[in-house]
Amino acid sequence: MSTTNTEIALTFDGVTRFYGPVIGLGDVTLRFGPGVTGLLGTNGAGKSTLLKLASGRLRPTQGCVRIGDFDATSLAAKRLLGYCPEINKFYEEMTGREFVRTMTRLYGYSWSETRQRTEAALDRVGMLDRADRALGGYSHGMRQRIKLAQAVAHEPRVLLLDEPLTGIDPAGRREVNQLIRDLADEGRTVVVSSHLLVELEQSADHLVMLQRGRVQAEGTLAELRRRLDDQPLTIRIESPQARRLAAICVAGPEVAQVDVRGDAVTIRTTDAPQFFVALNELIAAHSQETEPLVVERMETLDAGAEAVFDYLQRGAT
Amino acid sequence: MTYLRAGTTLVFTTFRRLVWSVGTLMLLFPLAACTLFVARRGYPQISDPLVAFNSLSNFLLYIYASFMPPLAALAFGAQSLGGDREDRTLVFLLIRPVPRWVILAAKFAAAWPLAICVSCGGLALLCRLAGPPGSIAFAAYLPAIFYMTTAYTAVFLAFSVLFRHAVIAALVYSLFMEVLLGNVPGIIKKLAVNYYGRSLMFDAGVDHGLVAPDPQWFEPLSGFAARGTLLGITLAVLVGAWLVFRLREYEDSA
Amino acid sequence: MSANGVGDYRPWHGERRAPLAACGAIMRTSLRQLFRRKVYWIVLAIGLGQYLVYASVIYGLTQMQMPERSKNMLLQSFNFSPNADDPQETGYLQFVEAQSLVVMILLALCGSQMIGSDFRDGVLPFYLSRRIERRHYVLGKILAIIVVVWLLTVVPAFALFIEFGLFTTSLDYWWENWKIVPALLGYGLVLGGVTAVWLAAISAYLQRLAPIAVTWASLFLLTGRLALALRDATGDRRWLLLDPWRDLRLAGRLFYGVFPTADDRQLPLQAAALLAVVTAIAFAALMRRVRAVEVVS
């Protein structure tokens, strides 16, 4: 992470965690500083274990986890921590406001301060006007917001959000992403886990990719994308002359594989920039023919952020 | 002050959840059955006060004391923390800066008055229905029911610390230890909370003419020893539960 | 996309079975749900401890040389007689009845895990959105509970019956005591069927383990004790009908025709009628509760 030591809020030092004979997290060393850090990985990659260790709910088998200067399991660390768990369970009979108020009160605030912080947190997650309904009747998105509210009410220095965007509609996602961004801009350390990179693209400053309990890659999205440049790229081209196009393209040295299906040709290239140049030249060269090459649509199938993730996963397996 | 505020909030929240739970409602069923029994039995109509007292005592000793304190403790003691484990809401408590002993103490403090209220309140109701022998029985047996319920609540709270299915563990304990082993000859019955409770009841009842049981089948402890043991069980079990709870990882809470 | 297009997507080539077949699937799913729990196996092991005791008694009776007096003492101490025509004792039924405590505990767990959780976690719409009706869901769950009851009662009782025959030198024991087979089946049917419907209804309404356990323990233990106390106090044996376990036992023994006590001989038909009425009410309540849509206030 690109932060100085004084800013480090959450530290993993050689942390290993076993579940019996199964390794949940293996020799992880990470430093989390202010800003949003996206924690990525498939199911079972170790994201939840990492967050449980960070929240002090699990103890590492080896190594140590610290929040600020405190051991993550200590009460002092928990005062600095806000945690939004993945589970979708609450005290269902309570209203949203009661729940957030109760959870805030557990930090030992006076009633007036608890009330004030509760209202501020509900306002922040956009639930102020809907907080007096019983939690049992809330939609999934509203429940996620209440979970967020109980995590931010005491204004923690470190915020751990386990899959906070699950079940929220696109408009809501934008709002929550903005909220995450705002919290980070206030100087907090926000760690957000997800198994979808697109969810984090907008808000995350840094990404940590986990695979099988190990850190597979870390850095900014741009840094991780650069690792794609040397990798094969798949391009899908729709054309009425798909077979002809395929026959011409296959001769190119940068083309590794060609697949024709109906009006679409899928090309796997080992040198994407070179291929695009060659394709342009090819189309221009055939434009004067009686039946010129027509490209109706072209898309790269794996150039998005997900591709980085997929590529790294492939690398890990 | 911080812990006090957190603790009182937790007591209040747990108390409220337990009071309005279906478990509380269902406790009315055994209580109603006992009430109907006492009403039908007609203790005030029994002319011989000694016979009436012995008859009522037998009901309170062998039926009421065997069922109501454990059932009340199961509904409140096992559920106060077990409910959080069952509902997977324990995570919300474990991530707060609240010491585990405060959580445990708060859960006990919420469950205990409710369990006492049901079992001792039930005793009061039944004794009132039973008329004159009931007045004597209430004064004599109230401490026993009180200490028994307290011990059961602590034991079942400890079960919820140890076991994921605390209610099943409590049920197994109640039925096997209390109903089966508590009624067999020999010293094995001393493993049951019920034994000490009954000893306390016998100790109090004998002064009022309760026929002492056959010592070969049941040799009660003195009232002092029984009371001391029940209090000892309560304290030992709570301390044991705290020792486990403070170190245990509740991975299943999420 | 046209309707045809949707229909063509991943076409179904198999043959759909009748909705009734779904009952089997629901039963298997429910049982798997229960078998995954460690606590189930612990309670089952406690229950089968009694089976081992009875199995040892049978082994002792058939394989060990002992005087007739000792043999009788052994039989009496376990309340056991292996013969169908014994007017006083019906050993295998006694075994089934002796399992009542464990069955009760296990059923409390079953109710919460198999049925209560479907309501609590909103699983019911997943079942009822398939090509089945409420009755198929209910039947599947009831079958699952019957299997659980049988695994602790009827199945080990049959195992004991088979064991006794195997330890003798001919097939005569089985031929002479054939009445035990239909008796056990009938008893099992009453025991399993009634407890299943009652438990399903209670669990559908109460859902959580603690209230189910409180209700179940009150129903099957407390009422039994109260019924006995009332019978002793008033001399009216009809009070015994308040005890559901006794009613089940009496109704089940109708298949066998042997009633060990005078009280038992007087009440089997009333017990069966009472069980039928309560079971019908419980079934109606259960059907009313099983709905695809949970209305949230």
A108 touches C at CB < 8 Å:
no
The chains found to touch C (3+ Cβ pairs under 8 angstroms) are A, B
**Whether the predicted pLDDT of C155 surpasses 90:** yes
**Whether the predicted pLDDT of A192 surpasses 80:** yes
Q: Indicate the pLDDT class of residue A307, thresholds 50, 70 and 90.
A: low
Structure tokens at A158: 């470190």
The count of residues in chain B is 254
Supply the pLDDT for residue C292.
62
Query: Using CA atoms, how far apart are residues A66 and A64, in angstroms rounded to an integer?
Result: 7
The DSSP 8-state label assigned to residue A43 in this structure reads: T
Query: Using CA atoms, how far apart are residues A282 and A46, in angstroms rounded to an integer?
Result: 47
Supply the pLDDT for residue A119.
95
Instruction: Taking residues B183-203, report their average pLDDT.
Output: 84
To the question of domain A5-225 being in CATH 3.40.50.300, the answer is yes
Instruction: Taking residues B55-71, report their average pLDDT.
Output: 92
Structure tokens at A51: 């967050």
Axis crossing angle, helix B100-129 with helix B132-162, rounded to the nearest 10: 160
Locate the domains of chain A by residue range.
5-225, 233-316
Instruction: Confirm if A238 and A297 have CB atoms less than 8 A apart.
Output: yes
Check B63 against C222: CB less than 8 A apart.
yes
Instruction: Confirm if C115 and C180 have CB atoms less than 8 A apart.
Output: no
Report the run of H or E that residue B223 belongs to, with start and end: helix B223-247
Supply the pLDDT for residue C286.
94
What spatial distance separates the first Cα and last Cα of chain C, rounded to whole Å? 37
Query: Using CA atoms, how far apart are residues C25 and C23, in angstroms rounded to an integer?
Result: 5
Identity of the amino acid at C57: V
Instruction: Taking residues C165-194, report their average pLDDT.
Output: 87
The matching CATH number, chosen from 3.30.70.100, 3.90.78.10, 2.60.40.10, 3.50.50.60, for A233-316 is 3.30.70.100
CA distances to B73, C108, C207 from C210, in Å: 10, 9, 9
The three-state secondary structure class of A212 is coil
Check B86 against C209: CB less than 8 A apart.
yes
- Taking alpha carbons only, the member of C102, C136, C91, C126 closest to residue C256 is C91
Q: Domain range spanning residue B44? A: 2-253
Instruction: Confirm if C82 and C88 have CB atoms less than 8 A apart.
Output: no
Instruction: Confirm if C209 and C110 have CB atoms less than 8 A apart.
Output: no
Q: What residues of B are in contact with residue A86 (Cβ under 8 Å)?
A: 254
| Mean pLDDT, all residues of chain A | 84
Radius of gyration of chain A (CA): 24
Supply the pLDDT for residue A309.
60
Higher pLDDT, C260 or C221: C221
Work out how many CB contacts closer than 8 A connect B with C. 105
B212-233 pLDDT, tens digit per residue, is: 777 777 788 888 999 999 999 9
Higher pLDDT, A197 or B7: B7
Identity of the amino acid at A163: E
Give φ, ψ of B113 to 5 degrees: -60, -35
* Closest-CA residue of chain C to A88: C121
- Taking alpha carbons only, the member of B147, B119, B116 closest to residue B60 is B119
**Whether the predicted pLDDT of C7 surpasses 80:** no
> What is the ipTM for the molecules in this complex?
0.89
Instruction: Taking residues C115-143, report their average pLDDT.
Output: 88
At which residue do the structure tokens 């109708």 appear?
C254
B214 touches A at CB < 8 Å:
no
Q: Indicate the pLDDT class of residue B157, thresholds 50, 70 and 90.
A: very high
Higher pLDDT, C139 or B189: C139
A89-127 pLDDT, tens digit per residue, is: 888 889 999 999 999 999 999 999 999 999 999 999 888
Query: Using CA atoms, how far apart are residues C94 and C114, in angstroms rounded to an integer?
Result: 28
| Mean pLDDT, all residues of chain C | 84
Structure tokens at B109: 């403090």
Tell me the residues of chain A between 117 and 156 that have a Cβ less than 8 Å away from chain B: 150
Q: Indicate the pLDDT class of residue C297, thresholds 50, 70 and 90.
A: very low
Query: Using CA atoms, how far apart are residues B245 and B253, in angstroms rounded to an integer?
Result: 13
Q: Indicate the pLDDT class of residue C87, thresholds 50, 70 and 90.
A: low
Instruction: Taking residues B139-167, report their average pLDDT.
Output: 94
User: Which residue of B22, B37, B74 is in closest CB contact with C230?
Assistant: B37
The three-state secondary structure class of A208 is strand
Q: What residues of B are in contact with residue C98 (Cβ under 8 Å)?
A: none
> Which of C119, C121, C208, C296 would you mutate first to test chain A, the one with the most A CBs within 10 A?
C296
C15-35 pLDDT, tens digit per residue, is: 777 878 889 999 999 999 889
The minimum CA-CA distance between B7 and chain A, rounded to whole Å, is 8
**Whether the predicted pLDDT of A303 surpasses 90:** no
Q: How many other CB atoms are found less than 10 A from the CB of residue C291? A: 13
Radius of gyration of chain B (CA): 19
B75 touches A at CB < 8 Å:
no
- Taking alpha carbons only, the member of B165, B194, B197, B201 closest to residue B81 is B165
Q: Indicate the pLDDT class of residue B188, thresholds 50, 70 and 90.
A: confident
A153-177 pLDDT, tens digit per residue, is: 999 999 999 988 887 788 888 888 8
Structure tokens at B95: 């991530």
- Taking alpha carbons only, the member of B55, B180, B199 closest to residue B141 is B199
Instruction: Confirm if B67 and C221 have CB atoms less than 8 A apart.
Output: yes
Instruction: Confirm if C214 and B29 have CB atoms less than 8 A apart.
Output: yes
At which residue do the structure tokens 């229905």 appear?
B129
User: Which residue of B17, B88, B250 is in closest CB contact with A89?
Assistant: B88
Instruction: Confirm if B143 and B118 have CB atoms less than 8 A apart.
Output: no
Instruction: Confirm if A93 and A136 have CB atoms less than 8 A apart.
Output: yes
Check A75 against B89: CB less than 8 A apart.
no
- Structural domain count, chain B: 1
Q: Indicate the pLDDT class of residue A228, thresholds 50, 70 and 90.
A: low
**Whether the predicted pLDDT of C45 surpasses 80:** yes
Q: What residues of C are in contact with residue B52 (Cβ under 8 Å)?
A: none
Q: How many other CB atoms are found less than 10 A from the CB of residue C98? A: 19
The minimum CA-CA distance between C274 and chain B, rounded to whole Å, is 18
Tell me the residues of chain B between 185 and 244 that have a Cβ less than 8 Å away from chain C: none
Supply the pLDDT for residue A316.
46
Q: Where are the alpha helices (DSSP H) in chain A?
A: 47-54, 75-79, 96-105, 111-124, 140-152, 170-185, 197-201, 221-226, 242-249, 272-286, 305-316
Supply the pLDDT for residue B38.
93
Supply the pLDDT for residue A312.
57
The three-state secondary structure class of C98 is helix
- Taking alpha carbons only, the member of A152, A160, A98 closest to residue A126 is A152
Question: Using CB atoms within 10 A of its CB, is residue A112 exposed (0-12), middle (13-18) or buried (19+)?
Answer: exposed
* Closest-CA residue of chain B to A49: B251
Supply the pLDDT for residue C2.
44
